[in-house]
Amino acid sequence: MKAYLIDSPAGLFLVEKTGKLSEKLLFPRNPGDAAAQLKLVQSGSLPDLSSEFVQKLSQL
């Protein structure tokens, strides 16, 4: 399956080539916490709360 991993201020989203949303990981609602999580992603690291998300991705 071809898909795109999209990072945004709201969270991480796995979108299939067809446009269907396969998986999502929403960041905390607190803007400061969400910004910290996004900063980790943009620096190349995955946030601690993403372990379940990564497991789902590895099963695809």
Q: What is the pLDDT of residues 3-58, one digit of tens each?
A: 898 988 898 899 999 999 998 988 889 999 888 888 888 898 877 766 777 777 77
What ranges do the domains of the chain cover? 3-59
Q: Closest Cα partner for 37 from 14, 6, 57, 7? A: 7
The pLDDT, as a whole number, for residue 49 is 66
Confidence band of 1 (pLDDT split at 50, 70, 90)? confident
pLDDT for 55 equals 76
End-to-end CA distance of the chain: 8
Q: Which of 41, 3, 5 is CA-nearest to residue 24? A: 5
